[in-house]
A and B are shown apart, each in its own frame.
Chain A
Amino acid sequence: MSRIVADGISVLRERRAIVDGVSLAMEGGQFIGLIGPNGAGKSTLMSVLAGLLAPERGTVTIDGAALAAFDRRRLARLRAYLPQNPRAEWPVSVERLVALGLTPQLPIFGALPEAMQARVDAVLAMVDMASRRDQPATTLSGGELARAMLARALVGDPQVLLADEPLAGLDPRHALDGIGRLRGLADGGKLVIASVHELTLAARYATHIAVMRQGRLIAFGPTAQVLTAALLHEVFEVDACVTGAGTPGAVVDFVPTPAQA
């Protein structure tokens, strides 16, 4: 069970605060949906939480240990990170792609040990990509690539998964499939943090919601409490209608204002 605490994170770029004084405490078993308008600083915050970007102010700790002090490979085994629109640069097979997730565990030279090969097989089966294991990754469809990348992230059995817009560009079936898997991981004890734009899906599957606007954290808490029409109006400047937040039947509707109709 991992616990991540971010304290007063600020990221500055040319004296403008992309992330401004964000503090969060998260732990395993939670699926945190990070929402906010474009340019709110979500991706930057995720990079900081993943340990890939050093903030100008503030600290991040995992289980009490400062992120900055972590050895790269130990951190890589502990947490997995999926950026926006991940793609494969070479047409390697799906199996090879997924096996790359084991890089932190591999020695400098030598082939994949037997035990690790078994993990690759298992995780391929888990995302239903076993039948495509030899297909070149560059020929996969959007949904298939998303599943393959998720498999890549999970093959090392990390405690924490950070995914930046994992549902971008996916059709409804694959989006549903994807976010369902993420919730399943959280239910299994992992800490999952994902930034999403699909608010209905977030309302149904996320256990907690973190809301950002202009670099600041506006709200953070269990979905039912945070995801309200008033909040959405404040943050997205649109009228919303939220029903059943935090339940499998949740719906988030945007109501056009008279000016937009």
Chain B
Amino acid sequence: MVGKRLWPVLAGVLLLAGVLLSLGIGRVWLNPLVLADSVFQPKPNLAWLILIELRAPRTVLGVLVGASLGLSGAVLQGLLRNPLAEPGLLGVSAGAALGAVLAIYFGLSATFLLATPMMGIAGAIAAALLTLSIGRGGTLTMILAGVAVSGLMAAGVSLALNFAPNLAAVYEITIWLLGTLENSDWDQVLLVAPFILLGWICLAFSARDIDALTLGEAQAESLGVNLARTRLLALAGTALSVGAATAVTGSIGFIGLLAPHIVRPFVGHQPSRVLLPAALFGAILLVFVDVATRAIPTAGQEIRLGVLTSIVGTPFFFWLVVKLRRLSP
């Protein structure tokens, strides 16, 4: 196995490769040399427009979203000591989806371009507050509250689909839910970046606490960990980073679940050591899958990002279940 010293190099190389591919690949093939040279040509020119206005924000957003999913997944797996935990558990992703769907439903998205992500962020925070207030007093209670809130938000989305006034609205809501980075622009990046970075800070601060949770809740508390604070940091961090991410991209699954598992063979099982690698690998994974959505030739509609992450992620999920089954007595 790749040694402990090598993984940062490997991760860096992979991320760089992913970024370069993402900048170089799109529906319109442009010679990479032409793309690079476009920086020096008089503006505007086609390569420059495509590179800077379309592919660059898409790449940046891909990195931000992928890292958020990976980081949040790692924190939640550490908090719950459960390898199947992932960011969607707390109801935050479902809340972001409902917020965005409501923006589409009430036509706000047609009048104001950033309405959808803003409503998505509001939805994520509302869902998190609901989970927090219902789920006080214990980790299990918080998870159950998260499941309940997810159900409530999903019911809201179904309601919106049910009462959508025309087929076009149904189609657009459904397509949005499948997840995409297609329409990324710099305004979206500027909108979500502060939330995402703030979320990362919250999640990073929980690192020590989730390390102590390796010993179980009783010993962790005896070591001075304030479990309520840890849960709050995990929830707030997920709501801010994953909520903002889902608000711009739609529902993207499996990255938050997969990334921590992929890095554990390299960096060990200590929860705090998994955080940064999981974030990096989540970014790498998402960027590569996004490149694949552009590269896979389809007649008509591009394959959606959320669809492809599911297709790629489900076999891994099966493998994980089989592995756990073998390990447990």
Contact = CB atoms under 8 A, between A and B. Distances in A.
- Are A and B part of the same complex? yes
Nearest to B213: A89
Contacts of A86: 215-216, 219
Given A96-B270, A104-B224, A90 B219 contact: no
Nearest to A91: B269
Contact of A108 (B205, B215, B221, B271): B205
B226 interface: yes
Interface string A90-118: 11110011001101101011000000000
Interface in B212-266: 212-216, 218-219, 221-226
A103 B214 contact: no
A100 B273 CA distance: 13
B242 to A, nearest CB: 22
Contacts of A90: 81, 214, 269-271
B268 interface: yes
Contacts, number: 71
B224 A97 contact: no
Given A103-B208, A104-B224, A81 B215 contact: no
B207 interface: yes
A247 to B, nearest CB: 33
A206 B221 CA distance: 27
B182 interface: no
A192 interface: no
Nearest to B81: A89
Contacts of B226: 72
A197 to B, nearest CB: 20
A225 to B, nearest CB: 31
Contact of A100 (B81, B211, B268, B269): B211
A31 B270 CA distance: 34
B223 A100 contact: yes
B196 to A, nearest CB: 20
Nearest to B207: A109
Most chain B beta-carbon neighbours within 10 Å: one of A76, A100, A109, A136: A100
Contact of B219 (A79, A81, A109): A81
Given A90-B81, A91-B269, A100 B221 contact: no
A76 B216 contact: no
A79 B211 CA distance: 19
A108 B208 contact: yes
Interface string A150-171: 0010000000000000000000
Most chain A beta-carbon neighbours within 10 Å: one of B204, B219, B224: B219
A52 B223 contact: no
Binding site secondary structure of chain A: mixed
Contacts of A104: 223-224
Given A89-B213, A100-B211, A100-B212, A83 B224 contact: no
Contacts of A81: 218-219, 222
A87 interface: yes
B222 A100 contact: no
A100 B220 CA distance: 9
B215 A88 contact: yes
Given A75-B224, A96-B270, A87 B207 contact: no
A81 B223 CA distance: 8
A97 B208 contact: no
A101 B223 contact: yes
B209 to A, nearest CB: 9
B214 A72 contact: no
A52 B224 contact: no
A50 interface: yes
B215 A89 contact: yes
A88 B222 contact: no
A196 interface: no
A89 B139 CA distance: 15
Contacts of B269: 90-92, 136
A15 interface: no
A128 B224 CA distance: 27
Contacts of A50: 222
A103 B205 CA distance: 14
A103 B212 contact: yes
15 contacts: A72-B226, A75-B224, A76-B222, A80-B222, A81-B218, A86-B215, A89-B215, A91-B269, A92-B214, A96-B268, A103-B223, A104-B224, A109-B204, A136-B269, A152-B215
Interface of B: 81, 204-205, 207-208, 211-216, 218-219, 221-226, 268-271
Given A72-B226, A97-B214, 13 more contacts: A52-B222, A73-B224, A76-B224, A80-B222, A81-B219, A83-B216, A88-B214, A89-B213, A89-B216, A91-B269, A92-B270, A100-B215, A103-B211
Shortest 7 CB-CB distances between A and B: which pairs?
A76-B224, A81-B222, A90-B269, A89-B81, A73-B224, A83-B218, A72-B224
